[in-house]
Structure 1
Amino acid sequence: MTFTHAEDFTTRPTLEGHFGMSASTHWLATASAQAVLERGGNAFDAAVAGAFVLHVVEPHLNGPGGDMTGLFVTAEDPSHPTVLMGQGPAPAAATLEHYTGLGLDRVPGAGALAAAVPAAVDAWLLLLRDHGTWDLADVLAFAIDYAENGHPVVPRVPATIRTVKELFETHWPTSAQHWMPDGEIPKPGQIITNRPYAQVLRELIEAGSDTSSREERIDAARQQWKTGKVARVAADFVTTSHRHSDGGDYAGVITAEDFASFSAGYEDAVSIEFRGYTIAKIGPWGQGPVLLQTLKILDGFEDHRLDPGTELGAHTILEALKLAMADRDTYYADGQVPLETLLSDDYAAQRRQLISEEASLEFRPGDIPGMKKVLPLLEEADGGSGSAFGGGEPTVSRDGETKGDTCHIDVVDRWGNMISATPSGGWLQSSPTIPELGFPLGTRLQMNWLDPESPSALQPGRRPRTTLTPTLVFKDGQPVMALGTPGGDQQDQWQLLFLLRYLVGGHTPQQAIDAPALHTTALPSSFWPRQWTPGGAVVEDRLGEEVISGLEHRGHRITHAGDWTLGRLSCVTRDPATGRLQAAANPRQAQGYAAGR
């Protein structure tokens, strides 16, 4: 069948070719990745080059002090999706006793107390070493160029700085000095640089200058990152108390030893079958299985109930998402999670029966035999509106509220290597900028609870339950699509809409990205102050007055987000039979682009 909006005007064509495709949330990262492909690099060389560029050109959305998760397949082993695990754990001194002893009831959303061990850089270097072909210096040349010589700043960067201007000037002077030179907020399109970070990258390259092989040079850079200047300077810097998002002043707890003890790694993906396709995700230490659970629930409905562009379809999707999200916030964690039960046909059938004709206003996790059900803190958002635009990765300060977000990149090459990756954290507004490094630490620990009974309670050495959740799609054991989006709690929700429209509804990739989006806020936010909106649903107005009114009549508490505000999806595809490649990217905010030939 063909879903609604499939024939609507699209903002740009779905790109097609056979050589290679790149798509990301910023055109310079896409261009850099594609340049690597054009010069003979593979998809992994290209993705790493693009990712380091994202550190520079989207500093409000990710940074070297943050984290990432990726999913990839190699041309040599195309049926085996692998997780690139770039999520650092809580530092050794990040104990419940320390945080509650400071009078905290939640991990702050901004400030170094919320910093997990930075993991993105080590993960990208690991991927380059094991599956890339280029030397480190060549891959980092793009990011060094933009950091050293400058790039035109996108409008959202000055807008973000403006929201935290008072915080920077009053409490985070190093951030003010770095991001507001001469006391002025940069103007959109102004050329800005980050020369301290360029120097950090040069030093990673120099660390391996005396080694003989490509792999040894990359290993030397990884060691330099974990035990050299970055670790030493960052650990020393956060020993000084500074303002956090709750209004208190605290020192961070991360140490140089925490940096040295972490290594990124690989894990097997988790997958299900849906309508003849295999959908692969990261495990329940992230929110990836939310998409899988929701698809399992929806798989029991006829196609017409899966159309997000109709009242019945949108209602059904929202209700299924609420059920999966309730399980996420009750059972998911870096530990023992009953995933076999959560993804079973029987459990999906039980959950499906809970979907009625009316919007549920309850938080309804399932009952898992042998598992203790510990509910998260359920505090309703002020005014009941939640995060209207689903900003994604918010850090909120009493000295100036802002909504951060995330980045995404997808690459496929002519040989069949494919990767989907979501870098995030370490935003310019997450904690004070470290002057010698040119970036701050991240805030991923805000996803941990300070309730010792919670499966995702804060614990040294444990990974926070991240929201970063890329996706790979397979057909007959062969990879056919890599996709993802920024958006925090909305990431799997927006990807769900895309997959339903593409796999079931007859949309092209670009049509599926351009079509009107929606999501539920009836879940405890993963981000400080971690509130929820019972029955909350955020919609793009392009969904149509009739559909939106119908949802309201069913009891959904609607927030209107405007016409083009939700979702920043990108994707690449490959037809294994012909080698035909496609790519598409989000037009919202006029920043994401795809490229290829």
Structure 2
Amino acid sequence: MTFTTRPEIAGTFGVATSTHWIASAVGMRLLERGGNAFDAAAAMGFVLHVVEPHLNGPLGDMPMLIKPAGQTNPTMVCGQGVAPAGATIEHFKDQGLEMIPGSGLLATVVPGAFDAWMITLRDHGSLPLRDILEPAIHYARYGHPLLPRVANTIAGLADFFAQEWPTSHATWVPGGSAPQAGALFCNPQLADTWERLLTEAEAVEGRLAQIEAARQAFYSGFIAEAIDSFVDQAYLMDASGTPHKGVLTGQDMAKWQASYEAPLEVDYHGWTVWKGGAWTQGPTLLQSLKLLQEVPLDQMDLNGAEFVHQVSEAMKLAFADREAYYGDPTFTHIPMDQLLSDGYAAERRTLIGATASTEQRPGRLPGHDAWVEAMLAHANLSYEPGHAIGAGEPTMSHLTEKRGDTVHLDVIDRWGNMVSATPSGGWLQSSPVVPGLGMPLNSRAQMFWLEDGLPTSLAPGRRPRTTLSPSMARRPDGTELAFGTPGGDQQDQWQLIYLLRLVHGELNLQEGIDAPLFHTGHFQSSFYPREVRPGHLMVEPGFGTEIMETLRAKGHAIEVAEPWTVGRLTAASRAPDGMLRAAATPRLMQAYAVGR
């Protein structure tokens, strides 16, 4: 019998699942009030900003896959903001920097998540904007039980905030005492911000007009003005160990808006899988599927050493290509057709051997030698971060309290509308709170490199290549699936493993989530200070010592995670007969799926 920690949720009315139980319950409340999946998802997203502030915030970023009922394929909503006009390589070099700090004001790009929610609500939602924002306002105003990890994060940074980021100290250490785990925690300034936005929006008549007024208030009105004034005047410490000014302006915000685009897709053993384009890391999952297409996974133990070995070696190859080739395709032609071709996968598949690779092995596509050589040079660099505060976006498995991460949500309603969203950025520990707003800026610019000629070179107007990566898939029987996870570079590793177990094993959504997970840090990290760990493989202890020893014998540098600490997957599905199902990870004991 397959082990599972909780039942798979099933019903026909609606399902909502996320990385926090309050957000999931709020999503179900919106469905019960007659809202659709887009209304519910947006309300959940704004609540997650409040209850998981160490993992995401309103000034962060978000890619989102949506599939309106009756639409054959999903659409990607791009909520990834771009580099400001002043974010040039020359400017950063003039600051004496060789790498963009992982925290502070220099690492900020245009906040993108808010407009992604707004255009989705405008085009697909049904409820008034007040209904969407009221739950977040309630929990910000009247409090929510503070998660232990949030309390620990704040406690670890309280002195730094007091010395370097006083606006953050006022918000996260109210009254001068770090809040306790489980105690009610309020962010009244954030509640005031959303109330003011609603007041301005409701000065005009009509749901659509109010959404447009909210967009105006955020990107050209009082929110943009507050950000512009703060960034123009502040000179604050960041992860480089030196104070810097930011370059984001209100004009940068006013010029940008969220957009729609078609996702990439591949077929794998009768399944169709959709991911974001090369400005996300989503194609790594698709490349991994292509590599594994001819590997007999259905003959393997899906919790066995050979499965772990084959999948981890495929991921190493796919992520090597990520580092060499991925970037914003509106700036640079990305050879994605070649990277996802059968011939390329067949050629690369021959590199998967019986032992673990400790080399970085990107593919060599004609005309792209400079990209490959730069990628290999980066992998051999060693950086000494000057100040670790707020740097990076680690996986939860690293169990650090001083870095940000991400959240995830999936929603399906009774009409068949589907959402899979991965909000992130704007973490409390990565950027100071903007005065008067109760929210910190993002630090996504750390994805860029400070050298010319690469798909990920810093340039004004360019999207950073984000790790954020929601997923959708369709089974051969027509069942549609929305799923995802937080976890930085590990997002598409954990999602790949989960998907492979659904394809090749007879597991329900919850059983697949509860199975032990693994990931590799072999390739270049996306986050400051961009470390590389050749041959690394982290595994949960649920695999057992025999499998770990077999993997060590194959050459993997095994790191055993703390129990139940790898992956924060959630998932929801809809069968052709209308049956809805959902599941959420038991890891960290806060994610929940609800539905009926």
Question: How high is the TM-score relative to the length of structure 2?
Answer: 0.95
Distance 2:213 2:423 in 1: 23
Q: 2:170 aligns with which of 166, 171, 177?
A: 177
Matches of 1:40 and 1:83 in 2, distance apart? Answer: 25
SS of 1:113's equivalent in the other structure is: helix
Does 2:29 correspond to 1:32? no
> For residue 547 of structure 1, what is the aligned residue in structure 2?
547
Question: Is 1:289–2:283 an aligned residue pair?
Answer: yes
Equivalent position to 2:309, from 294, 311, 315: 315
Amino acid at match of 2:352: I
CA offsets 1:474-500 (integer angstroms, 9 cap, x no match)? 235956100000000000000011101
| 1:504 CA displacement | 1.1
Q: Which residue of 1 aligns with 2:351?
A: 354
Name the counterpart of 1:63. 57
* Partner Cα separation in structure 1 for residue 551 and residue 51 of structure 2: 39
Shift of 1:562: 1.7
1:290 to 1:145, Cα distance in 2 relative to 1, 3 A: same
* Alignment partners' CA distance in 2, 1:128 and 1:304: 41
DSSP 3-state at the match of 1:454:
coil
Distance change >3 Å, CA 232–CA 467, structure 1 → 2: same
Aligned to 1:419: 419
5 Å matches for 1:221-300? 221-239=214-232, 240-300=234-294
Q: Which residue does the alignment assign to 1:438?
A: 438
Q: Distance in 2 between matches of 1:303 and 1:553?
A: 21
SS of equivalent residue, structure 1 residue 278: strand
User: SS of the counterpart of 2:421?
Assistant: strand
**Whole-Å separation in 1 of the counterparts to 2:511 and 2:381:** 35
Distance 2:393 2:301 in 1: 27
Structure 1 position 189, deviation (Å) = 0.9
Aligned partner of 1:592 in structure 2 is 591
Alignment partner, residue 81 of structure 1 = 74
The 1:331/1:122 distance shift into structure 2, 3 A limit, reads same
Taking a change above 3 Å as real, the CA distance of residues 330 and 541 of structure 1, as seen in their structure-2 partners, is same
Q: Secondary structure of the residue that 1:45 maps to in structure 2?
A: helix
Q: Is the 8 A contact 2:298 2:504 kept in 1?
A: no
Q: Which consecutive unaligned segments of at least 5 residues does structure 1 have?
A: 1-6
Q: Does the CA-based 8 Å contact 1:540-1:563 persist in structure 2?
A: yes
What is the alpha-carbon distance in structure 2 between the residues aligned to residue 105 and residue 262 of structure 1? Answer: 28
Alignment correspondent of 1:115: 108
Report the CA distance between 1:20 and its aligned residue. Answer: 0.3
2:404 aligned with 1:410, yes or no?
Answer: no
Return 340-349 or 204-213, whichever deviates more: 204-213
Given that 2:537 and 2:556 are in contact with CA atoms closer than 8 Å, whether structure 1 keeps it comes out as yes
Contact 1:298–1:306 at 8 Å: present in 2 too?
no
- Aligned 1:358-437 pairs, distance under 5 A: 358-374=355-371, 375-376=374-375, 377-379=378-380, 393-394=393-394, 402-437=402-437
198-207 or 323-332: which moved more? Answer: 198-207
| 1:337-387 CA-partner distances (Å, limit 9, x unpaired) | 10000001001101100000011010000011232342331147799xxx9
Structure 1 range deviating more: 355-364 or 167-176: 167-176
1:3 alignment counterpart: none
Q: Is the Cα contact below 8 Å between 1:23 and 1:410 reproduced in 2? A: yes
Matched, 1:215 2:208: yes
What is aligned with 1:150?
143
Q: 1:338 aligns with which of 332, 335, 348?
A: 335
- Cα pair distance change 1:454/1:354, threshold 3 Å: same
Counterpart of 1:124 in 2: which secondary structure?
Answer: helix
Secondary structure of the corresponding residue to residue 465 of structure 2: coil
Structure 2 CA distance for aligned equivalents of residues 172 and 116 of structure 1: 19
Q: Secondary structure at the match of 2:550?
A: helix
1:166, CA displacement in angstroms? Answer: 2.7
How far the C-alpha of 1:535 sits from its partner, in A, is: 0.5
User: 2: distance between equivalents of 1:25 and 1:73?
Assistant: 21
Q: Structure 1 residues 37, 283: closer, same or farther in 2, change over 3 A?
A: same
| Deviation string, structure 1 residues 300-355 (Cα, Å, up to 9, x no partner) | 11124665411111011110000000000000000311000000100110110000
- Residues 105, 401 of structure 1: CA spacing in aligned structure 2 closer, same or farther, 3 A cutoff? farther
TM-score (norm 1): 0.94
Return the letter of the residue paired with 2:262: D
Instruction: Determine the C-alpha separation between the residues in 2 that align with 1:235 and 1:156.
Output: 31
Aligned-residue CA RMSD (Å): 1.8
* Contact 2:392–2:529, Cα closer than 8 Å, also in 1: no
Deviations 1:497-549 (A, max 9, x none): 11011111111111111111100101110000001101011111111111111
1:213-242 Cα deviation digits (max 9, x unpaired)? 211110110011001111111121123110
- How far does residue 171 in structure 1 lie from its aligned partner after superposition? 0.9
Summarize deviations over 1:88-137 as a string: whole Å, max 9, x none: 00000000000011111111000010001001011101111100000101
Letter in 1 for 2:585: N
Distance 1:146 1:338, change over 3 A: same
Deviations 1:257-291 (A, max 9, x none): 01111100111010000110100011001100000
| C-alpha distance in 2 between matches for 1:202 and 1:320 | 49
CA distance in 2, matches of 1:25, 1:44: 17
Q: Unpaired segments of 5 or more residues in structure 2? A: none
User: Is 1:507 matched with 2:507?
Assistant: yes
Report whether the alignment pairs 1:133 with 2:134.
Answer: no
Match of residue 4, structure 2, among 5, 10, 14 = 10
Shift of 1:204: 2.0
Change (3 A) 1:44 1:438: same
1:593 is matched by which residue type in structure 2?
Answer: Y
Moved over 3 A (4+): 304-308, 379-383, 475-479
